[in-house]
Amino acid sequence: MSRYNIREVKYVSTRDAEGSAKISSAEAIKRGIAPDGGLYMPASMPRFGIMDLSQISKATYPARAAYILGRYLTDFTAGELLSEAEKAYSGFDGYPAPLRGVSGRESILELWHGPTCAFKDMALQIMPRLLSLSLGKTGEKNDAMILTATSGDTGKAALEGFRDVPRTRIMVFYPAHGVSAVQRLQMVTQEGSNVRVCGVNGNFDDAQTGVKRIFGDREMISALAGKGLFLSSANSINWGRLAPQIVYYFSAYCDMASEGKIKLGDEIDVCVPTGNFGDIFAAYIAKASGLPIARLICASNRNSVLTDFFSTGTYDRRREFYTTSSPSMDILISSNLERLLWAVCGPEETAAHMKALSADGCYTVSAETKAALSEVFSGYYAGEEECAAQIKRMWDEEGYLADPHTAVALACAEKYRRDCPGGRRLLTVSTASPYKFAGSVLEAISGSRPDDETKAADMLSSLTGVPVPAPLRGLDRKTVRFSAAVDPEDMAGEVLGFGEM
């Protein structure tokens, strides 16, 4: 595939008022987070037109990825990107990002056919490879120590992505009582010589705050440097995570056109089950780069902090935290929202809002910013009963088995449709295999569930005839390698201990 006129794209921190400290894409991937605590964003946005869309329409998924990524990650060659994308997406079961049609009109984009059966694989199978290349490109002497806080799916996907990747180590912290049994088993049985997994006595925000504190701890950073290590992140705040997620929106759009659901150039709406705001923000970037997306529907579960934000302009994390059946969306601080604020209101306001969020737990955007957000975003949420009812209805009426995260999005998409019965096609993102949350899905469909998640998967499979994906079979027979759980204050000690090895 030929490429022409590729402009170099530099990256700036969302909190850099001058926007003067511009760095390369390789440097941004290597660092993960900016020294001022901000997140990296492209200083200029690549543009794609109809020609580009028709160009990639007939290409394989890895070729689409290389084409799109090449415009954002301009210090990687086309050859490097294609070869890494081919390796990254070879471990998927079939086409990496297939569309499913339900009820004639609606399209569902399934992003969970990777090795851990959740959408995080879409980015985390390729990001470690990009990071590894970035170490060479930036002349880095130290090896990368990846620290990640996970609400469930990121952890396993990151472990699987980094496992035995040269010059990297990975340590994953998860909320000890905030992940599903299958998610926990997937992580604590992780294989690989460069991996470590640790529970945190707290919720996801405690784990994420703990990780952020370690990133800001100068003593820790110099102690690790003494051991030939530097800290980086695999969380969705790393640009290397976000960039590969842009690809599947372009890919899905092309596939909708190939299926005759739209014509190239028609606008679509996109509904995304949202937690840390990474997946939906990738759709926003795709739109900003010219993909014809009209509205983005931000779907939340009972932890509806984002729904309230989009309707009132006030982000207020001072509220009760609920543990739900869609744990990857149980989040009160959606880190990537900072990138959206930067894009809409610039670095100064963003820095002020982030300061207020950490000092007071809330902030309110200006009327102008709120209006700009409302032009693109609609926020909806679905509670636990709505989610279960949606799972049942999708199965009974459509024969479609949805996991709770996907069901939240489908329920929100229906609410949006009721409020705005426009003519655009709606693409809803499906983020996990129903078998990752088999107990909840089985209960929603049949009214009861066994305590044992593995048994639930077998029962769900015999009830529906839908097979359990290979990576989720036989988990209970694997050896548990990591059983520790620590208090948030002791996370730093765990990291240092791992650095000693």
- The two tokens of residue 446 are 């049949």
Asked if residues 337 and 315 have their Cβ atoms less than 8 Å apart, the reply is: yes
Task: Draw the binding track, 279-318, toward ligand PLP (x: CB under 6 A; -: no contact).
Answer: x---------------------------------------
Q: Quick check: is 120 catalytic?
A: yes
How far, rounded to the nearest angstrom, does the alpha carbon of residue 21 sit from its chain's CA centroid?
26
Instruction: Indicate which single residue of 62, 210, 240, 273 sits in contact with ligand PLP (rule: CB under 6 A).
Output: 273
Which residue, 29 or 135, is less far from ligand PLP as judged by CB?
29
| Residue type, position 16, single letter | D
Site residues for ligand PLP, 318-357, by CB under 6 A, read 328-329
Residue with tokens 């200083």: 43
Q: Which of 120, 156, 212, 392 is catalytic?
A: 120
Instruction: Indicate which single residue of 278, 379, 471, 499 sits in contact with ligand PLP (rule: CB under 6 A).
Output: 278
137 half-sphere exposure, CB direction, 13 A CA radius: 21
Q: 41 vs 12, 23, 108, 270, CA distance in Å?
A: 5, 10, 28, 22
Which residue, 112 or 363, is less far from ligand PLP as judged by CB?
112
Asked if residues 90 and 83 have their Cβ atoms less than 8 Å apart, the reply is: no
Rounded CA separation 284/298 (Å): 11
Number of amino acids touching ligand PLP (CB under 6 A): 17
Which residue, 27 or 279, is less far from ligand PLP as judged by CB?
279
Rounded CA separation 347/12 (Å): 10
Residue 184 binds to ligand PLP (criterion: CB under 6 A): no
- The two tokens of residue 94 are 């079939």
Task: Using the rule CB under 6 A, give the single segment among 114-122, 202-210, 360-368, 387-395 that binds ligand PLP.
Answer: 114-122
Task: Using the rule CB under 6 A, give the single segment among 73-81, 122-130, 271-279, 444-452 that binds ligand PLP.
Answer: 271-279
- The two tokens of residue 102 are 């339900």
Rounded CA separation 207/496 (Å): 16
Cβ partners under 8 Å of residue 22, min gap 6 = 10, 11, 12, 43
Q: Smallest distance, Å, CB 117 to ligand PLP? A: 9
Q: Smallest distance, Å, CB 276 to ligand PLP? A: 3
Q: Smallest distance, Å, CB 324 to ligand PLP? A: 11
Rounded CA separation 278/281 (Å): 5
The alpha-helical segments, DSSP class H, found in 297-436 are 305-312, 337-360, 367-376, 384-393, 404-419
Q: Smallest distance, Å, CB 165 to ligand PLP? A: 21
Residue 401 binds to ligand PLP (criterion: CB under 6 A): no
Residue 115 DSSP code:
T
Which residue, 134 or 236, is less far from ligand PLP as judged by CB?
236
Instruction: Indicate which single residue of 11, 174, 277, 416 sits in contact with ligand PLP (rule: CB under 6 A).
Output: 277
Instruction: Indicate which single residue of 16, 153, 269, 443 sits in contact with ligand PLP (rule: CB under 6 A).
Output: 153
Q: Smallest distance, Å, CB 391 to ligand PLP? A: 14
Q: Smallest distance, Å, CB 237 to ligand PLP? A: 10
Q: Smallest distance, Å, CB 431 to ligand PLP? A: 3
Rounded CA separation 124/240 (Å): 9
Residue 160 binds to ligand PLP (criterion: CB under 6 A): no
Q: Smallest distance, Å, CB 423 to ligand PLP? A: 28
Instruction: Indicate which single residue of 55, 235, 236, 238 sits in contact with ligand PLP (rule: CB under 6 A).
Output: 236
Rounded CA separation 310/314 (Å): 8
Residue 148 binds to ligand PLP (criterion: CB under 6 A): no
Residue 52 binds to ligand PLP (criterion: CB under 6 A): no
3-state secondary structure of 198: strand
Which residue, 203 or 276, is less far from ligand PLP as judged by CB?
276
Residue 8 DSSP code:
P
Residue 274 binds to ligand PLP (criterion: CB under 6 A): yes
How far, rounded to the nearest angstrom, does the alpha carbon of residue 23 sit from its chain's CA centroid?
23
Asked if residues 379 and 311 have their Cβ atoms less than 8 Å apart, the reply is: yes
Asked if residues 201 and 482 have their Cβ atoms less than 8 Å apart, the reply is: no
Binding residues vs ligand PLP (CB under 6 A): 118-120, 153, 236, 273-279, 328-329, 405, 431-432
- Catalogue the active-site residues: 120
